[in-house]
Structure 1
Amino acid sequence: MVTALPEIGRSFQLTTTNLTWVQNAYILAFGGILLLGARLGDILGRKQVFMYGIALFTLSSLLVGLAQSSEFLLITRAIQGVAAAMATPSTLALLSVTFTETKERSKAIALYSAVNGAGGSVGIILGGILTDLVSWRVGMFINVPIGIALLILSPRYLPKTEKASGRLDIYGALTSVIGMTSLVFGFIQASEKGWGANGTITPLIIGVILMALFILIESRVKQPITPLRLFANRDRTAGYLGRFLFVGGVFSMMYFMSQFLQIVLGFTSFEAGLVFVPMTAVQFGMMYVVPKLIGKFGNAKVLILGIIAAILGMSLLSRVSVDTHFFSGIIIPMIILGIGAGIVFIPFTTLGLKEVESRDAGAASGLVNVSHQIGGSVGLAILATVFGAVSQSSNPSKSEFANAVTASITGSALFLTSSLIVVVILLLLREKKSTTQSVLQTARAK
């Protein structure tokens, strides 16, 4: 839907900053309800919850395509997010049940990671094609026949899973969703009204309080949607936090670059979508290379290599301007970024599920997706403030728009750098410490 945003903005008279809500209404509902959806799958059965989610997603996609006002559009996008939150956690959990042999399960997780990581790029390409040739609404309508097909095939091919007894952590879900939404709203208000405005400070304070309350609830409730014990393992923490920061940078770049191509360079939605094809192709292609690299060098080193490549590509891309040379200034950096992104998502997913107890399988799978979705939402909200601070206009000129995009993508590079720092501290330094201790123990034994 990203490539369709300029057209949606013109249809509903939304500014570049306000357009972020078309994405965030979906992402916040998705990420906020995701863990509750995972728990719902444990209690009601993952197959059933998956099908309920697909049914609701199909209906809400139809409603988004029929939207005649910005308010209705945002509401139905949020409903789409709720539906996706029901279906997505069950998907990864069903993979684990369906593929019981270790080698086959590794292949399934690799494919899932590649699709999850590159899916946004594919959506950009397809959305651009459909928007230019027909309408942005068709990008939503196309989900309807796909959803119907899934509902027909699911009863036949998906295995049944056992239901678990327990309660839903409603208070945890509500505080996390409202708290995160309030924080994102505060960041977006900052880009329009400034950091000192009441409309900025109040939601940020409410967001911080609610997120603190969420942590308190999760530490005390008997069956939390986010068991805090999952963060006791440094590898899993690196997987969640590193992914959060990485996606925050990459997703924001896609948002701003799509608009840069159309507003500054004059590309059509179709042409803007095609620009992302090389990046997506190499990202998918890395799926076949990464497992071999991990087998030879280990998860941590491969992950660090991928992040470094992504930082290089993003840094080069942050130099775009009105006079940027298309091939050397956009295509080459995006290919380098695609290689890096194609490398990191399999290690990130593996880390997020490492040594998870069976009772926490659904929650851990949910956290992998939560870190992905909320990372994109928070990253976009923060970098939207950067864009607004640089452009300082609801209708900037091409030159001003280009300068704002440059600043925003520089912010994306900083997000990726933060991801690298987290991974190095939590993974690589620990490995060196373990190696040193092992050497000392051996020396003492001698």
Structure 2
Amino acid sequence: MESRSAAPAGGPGSEALGDPRRWLILGVICTAYLMVGLDMTVMNLALPSAQEALEFSNSDRQWIVTAYALPFGSLLLFSGRLSDIIGRKESFLIGLTGFAGASAVGGAATNFEMLVTARACQGAFASMLAPACLALLATTFHDPKEKAKAFGIYSAVAASGAGLGLILGGALVSALNWRWCMYVNLVFAVVAFAGSVMLMQREPKTGAKLDVPGVVLASGGMFCLVYGFANAADEGWGTTSTWGVLVLGGALLLVFAFSQTRATNALLPPRILLDRNRGGAYFTVLLVGTGMFGVMLFLIYYMQTNLDYSAITSGVALLPMVVCTTVGASAGAIRLMPKYGPRPLVTFGLVLSALGMAWLTVIGVDSGYVTHLLGPLMVVGLGMGFIYAAALRTGTSGVEPRDAGIASACVNTGQQLGGAVGTALLNTIAATATGNWLESNVQGQPSQSQLDLAAIDGYTTVFWWCTALFVIGAVVAGLMLRGGPLPTPAEGPAEEKADGKPEELSEETKTA
């Protein structure tokens, strides 16, 4: 008979494999996760308008973004395990309701403090919603072919969310005002909430327990890392508030890693990370989160500052990348993953992304969109689609139902931490390259054309670094990920313990 891992008990749609509600549930999950993905970037294009309306300073402006990232990144592991304890549907509903409420408050903000508080609450509730979405997906579909299709759709949504946020943000700011970048979440939330209440079933308790010391260490360490990198992007690396906090964060995470090998109810059981495929998937998401800021951040700077694109034009210019990402994610998850497994998809996706980044280094002061931007955007988008198609599926593969939430949280943690690292590291690289160009080529006060050339030198330097990052990632991922398709639960190896030895199946599982 099938083991429990072959068909996780109690997941939505688990009563009947042919239950048509599972596809409607997928639509609900994707709607909710799209809202979270959009909010990673939708406010970026609204910041100038919000700053003018609420009259806050340039130094305060970065906190509109950082306030969202800090609780999101630092609470993901805790929230992922919490969903294993209280139930994925419950976590989903709490996260969804809280996110909608925070969005409404943020849209109605009358001052800077109110907006920052709302963004922080959005991040906290997003940390519950994001891993619950992926865990629900992993436990809803059991048939391998259907699961491949479901992950293809979800991967397309996850991979394109940030790009769609820029497009939607530009459209809302241009057509309405910045407040609608917050209010628009209510539309997604109402649809997802109604669907989840009608379609999702409550799951039986998984038996997972909370590791309180692990929560404190992991959340504190992640908070320090995200804050440290965010501070480095604005204040530089030489301040105590940057390197001191980063050192503290690293120390807390080292203690956390050591404690997990001895904890009775570990927050992040070593068995989750020590699987080569899952470890490779988490590494890939971290790397992509870092490198993608080379496109999302600096290409927007280039289009708006040097090419004089408006907010809506900049967003629409990224649409071909979003379309190619969707195509790559769907084709990769549905057609290629079941046949070839994650290693060729991730490796090829990283190589494609590297080629696209290298292609972007030819931009100049008066580059045309079709001649210089369209091609590399499409190549990068296709590569990202292949990567997400493989990484999201692999990051939750082979885990028991009791660990689905924490495994999903690891995927989202890599994305959030990668974004924080990318913002700080690439900002520093661009600023250094721009300063070096001015020092080498300008004497006295630089002209506007010289400032433009210096800025472009900074952008292209970042694109070369991203190229190298993706090439290194392709090599490492190719070595870490196993060859061949992912094993189906009924055929897969026994779960490994922290020491790497197979764990004996429990009597309960043997008789399931």
- TM class by shorter chain equals 0.7 to 0.9
- Is 1:34–1:89's contact at 8 Å kept on the other side of the alignment? yes
Pick one of 384, 391, 396 that aligns with 2:427. 384
Q: Report whether the alignment pairs 1:321 with 2:348.
A: no
- Compare 104-113 and 59-68 and name the one that shifted more: 59-68
Structure 1 residues 206 and 234, CA, compared in 2 at 3 Å: closer, same or farther? Answer: same
Corresponding residue for residue 196 of structure 2: 154
What is the rounded CA distance, in whole Å, between the counterparts of 1:48 and 1:218 in structure 2?
A: 26
- Is 2:84–2:406's contact at 8 Å kept on the other side of the alignment? no
- Is 2:46–2:170's contact at 8 Å kept on the other side of the alignment? yes
| Residue identity in the other structure for 2:300 | S
Corresponding residue for residue 408 of structure 1: 462
SS of the aligned residue for 2:288 comes to: helix
- Is 1:62–1:144's contact at 8 Å kept on the other side of the alignment? yes
| Residue identity in the other structure for 1:383 | L
Structure 1 residues 401 and 69, CA, compared in 2 at 3 Å: closer, same or farther? Answer: farther
SS of the aligned residue for 2:297 comes to: helix
- Is 2:282–2:391's contact at 8 Å kept on the other side of the alignment? yes
Give the alignment of 1:161-176 within 5 angstroms. 161-176=203-218
Q: Report whether the alignment pairs 1:278 with 2:332.
A: no
What is the rounded CA distance, in whole Å, between the counterparts of 1:118 and 1:39 in structure 2?
A: 26
What is the rounded CA distance, in whole Å, between the counterparts of 2:279 and 2:227 in structure 1?
A: 26
What is the rounded CA distance, in whole Å, between the counterparts of 1:105 and 1:227 in structure 2?
A: 25
What is the rounded CA distance, in whole Å, between the counterparts of 1:173 and 1:253 in structure 2?
A: 34
Normalised by the size of structure 1, how large is the TM-score? 0.87
Structure 1 residues 416 and 27, CA, compared in 2 at 3 Å: closer, same or farther? Answer: farther
What is the rounded CA distance, in whole Å, between the counterparts of 1:246 and 1:18 in structure 2?
A: 28
Structure 1 residues 268 and 164, CA, compared in 2 at 3 Å: closer, same or farther? Answer: same
What is the rounded CA distance, in whole Å, between the counterparts of 2:269 and 2:65 in structure 1?
A: 28
| Residue identity in the other structure for 2:406 | A
- Is 2:103–2:185's contact at 8 Å kept on the other side of the alignment? yes
Corresponding residue for residue 334 of structure 1: 377
| Residue identity in the other structure for 2:342 | N
Normalised by the size of structure 2, how large is the TM-score? 0.77
CA-CA distance at 1:415 after TM superposition: 3.0
- Is 1:98–1:159's contact at 8 Å kept on the other side of the alignment? no
Q: Report whether the alignment pairs 1:119 with 2:156.
A: no
What is the rounded CA distance, in whole Å, between the counterparts of 1:115 and 1:142 in structure 2?
A: 17
What is the rounded CA distance, in whole Å, between the counterparts of 1:154 and 1:297 in structure 2?
A: 34
CA-CA distance at 1:18 after TM superposition: 6.9
The CA deviation string for residues 162-185 of structure 1, in whole angstroms up to 9 with x for no partner, is: 123454334333333332332343
What is the rounded CA distance, in whole Å, between the counterparts of 1:19 and 1:331 in structure 2?
A: 31
Pick one of 97, 110, 124 that aligns with 1:55. 97
- Compare 282-291 and 264-273 and name the one that shifted more: 282-291
CA-CA distance at 1:263 after TM superposition: 2.1
- Is 2:88–2:136's contact at 8 Å kept on the other side of the alignment? yes
- Is 2:357–2:466's contact at 8 Å kept on the other side of the alignment? yes
Q: Report whether the alignment pairs 1:351 with 2:394.
A: yes
Unaligned runs of 5+ in 1: 432-446
Corresponding residue for residue 249 of structure 2: 207
SS of the aligned residue for 2:399 comes to: coil
- Compare 165-174 and 73-82 and name the one that shifted more: 165-174
Pick one of 416, 421, 424 that aligns with 2:475. 421
Structure 1 residues 246 and 230, CA, compared in 2 at 3 Å: closer, same or farther? Answer: same
Q: Report whether the alignment pairs 1:35 with 2:77.
A: yes
Q: Report whether the alignment pairs 1:292 with 2:335.
A: yes
Corresponding residue for residue 371 of structure 1: 414
CA-CA distance at 1:321 after TM superposition: 3.3
- Is 1:283–1:338's contact at 8 Å kept on the other side of the alignment? yes
Identity %: 30
Structure 1 residues 193 and 334, CA, compared in 2 at 3 Å: closer, same or farther? Answer: same
Corresponding residue for residue 90 of structure 1: 132
- Compare 293-302 and 37-46 and name the one that shifted more: 293-302
Structure 1 residues 288 and 42, CA, compared in 2 at 3 Å: closer, same or farther? Answer: closer
CA-CA distance at 1:273 after TM superposition: 0.6
- Would you identify which runs of 4 or more consecutive aligned residues in structure 1 move more than 6 Å? none
Structure 1 residues 365 and 197, CA, compared in 2 at 3 Å: closer, same or farther? Answer: closer
What is the rounded CA distance, in whole Å, between the counterparts of 1:95 and 1:39 in structure 2?
A: 16
| Residue identity in the other structure for 1:86 | M
Pick one of 346, 360, 365 that aligns with 2:403. 360
Corresponding residue for residue 441 of structure 1: none
- Compare 237-246 and 364-373 and name the one that shifted more: 364-373
Structure 1 residues 387 and 180, CA, compared in 2 at 3 Å: closer, same or farther? Answer: farther
- Is 1:188–1:384's contact at 8 Å kept on the other side of the alignment? no
Flag the structure with higher helix content. 1
- Is 2:330–2:385's contact at 8 Å kept on the other side of the alignment? no
Unaligned runs of 5+ in 2: 1-41, 439-447, 485-512
| Residue identity in the other structure for 1:408 | V
What is the rounded CA distance, in whole Å, between the counterparts of 2:357 and 2:51 in structure 1?
A: 26
CA-CA distance at 1:157 after TM superposition: 0.8
Give the alignment of 1:237-256 within 5 angstroms. 237-256=279-298
- Is 1:242–1:419's contact at 8 Å kept on the other side of the alignment? yes
Structure 1 residues 382 and 136, CA, compared in 2 at 3 Å: closer, same or farther? Answer: same
- Is 1:313–1:336's contact at 8 Å kept on the other side of the alignment? yes
- Is 1:314–1:337's contact at 8 Å kept on the other side of the alignment? yes
What is the rounded CA distance, in whole Å, between the counterparts of 2:329 and 2:51 in structure 1?
A: 35
Pick one of 80, 84, 89 that aligns with 2:122. 80
- Is 2:218–2:252's contact at 8 Å kept on the other side of the alignment? yes
Corresponding residue for residue 147 of structure 2: 105
CA-CA distance at 1:338 after TM superposition: 0.6
What is the rounded CA distance, in whole Å, between the counterparts of 1:72 and 1:407 in structure 2?
A: 38
